[in-house]
């Protein structure tokens, strides 16, 4: 009998699918109109949808870890690998919704910051793509470009 805080795989898939649908349109809006009010609502709505999905799944992740995995195991890579093993649908879905939400917010801040400090969309577009695909790699790329252009201490900078 499943624990009361776990969910059928079909329900997890449905929540994940719903939360994932607006992610690509939100990224397009970030790339082409980062300051737009519509982009703001789309990004915040997408992040909120992923946050709700994550919070719905989180008890199953926190309260039903894979057998033999303890909080102490989360301090080493082998423990993390066991924690996110592919047999646990809710663990993978929660982790991916976490990535989707945080990478989108980081990409939105990057695009808005670039616009505020005068870095062109053509220059920041590869950084946004890297943020979408490889999270911190895109952020590091943007910071390096920003520093290389002497815009790190710009008075309008968001970060």
Q: What is the mean pLDDT of the chain?
A: 87
Tell me the pTM.
0.83
Average pLDDT of span 4-25: 86
Q: What is the pLDDT of residue 73?
A: 79
Residues 105-115: tens digit of each pLDDT: 999 999 999 99
Please, how many CA atoms are within 13 Å of residue 113, restricted to the half-sphere of its CB? 22
pLDDT band with cut points at 50, 70 and 90 for residue 1: very low
- Report the candidate in 11, 23, 14 with the shortest Cα–Cα distance to residue 98: 23
Domain edges within the chain? 9-117
Exposed/middle/buried for residue 138 (C-beta within 10 Å: 0-12, 13-18, 19+): buried
Residues 58-93: tens digit of each pLDDT: 877 766 667 777 778 778 888 878 777 655 677 788
> What percent of the chain is predicted at pLDDT more than 90?
58
> What percent of the chain is predicted at pLDDT more than 70?
91
């Amino acid at each position: 009998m499943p624990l009361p805080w776990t969910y059928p795989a079909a329900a997890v898939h449905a929540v994940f699918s719903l939360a994932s649908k607006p992610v690509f349109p939100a990224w397009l809006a970030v790339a082409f109109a980062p300051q737009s009010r519509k982009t703001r609502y789309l990004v915040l709505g997408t992040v909120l949808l992923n946050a709700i999905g994550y919070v719905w799944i989180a008890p199953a992740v926190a309260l039903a870890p894979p057998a033999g995995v303890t909080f102490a195991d989360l301090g080493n890579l082998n423990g993390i690998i066991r924690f996110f093993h592919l047999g646990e649908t809710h663990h993978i879905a929660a982790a991916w919704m976490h990535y989707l939400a945080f990478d989108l917010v980081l990409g939105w801040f990057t695009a808005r910051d670039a616009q505020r400090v005068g870095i062109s969309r053509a220059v920041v577009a590869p950084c946004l793509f890297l943020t979408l695909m490889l999270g911190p790699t895109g952020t590091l790329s943007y910071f390096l470009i920003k520093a290389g252009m002497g815009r790190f201490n710009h008075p309008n900078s968001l970060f």
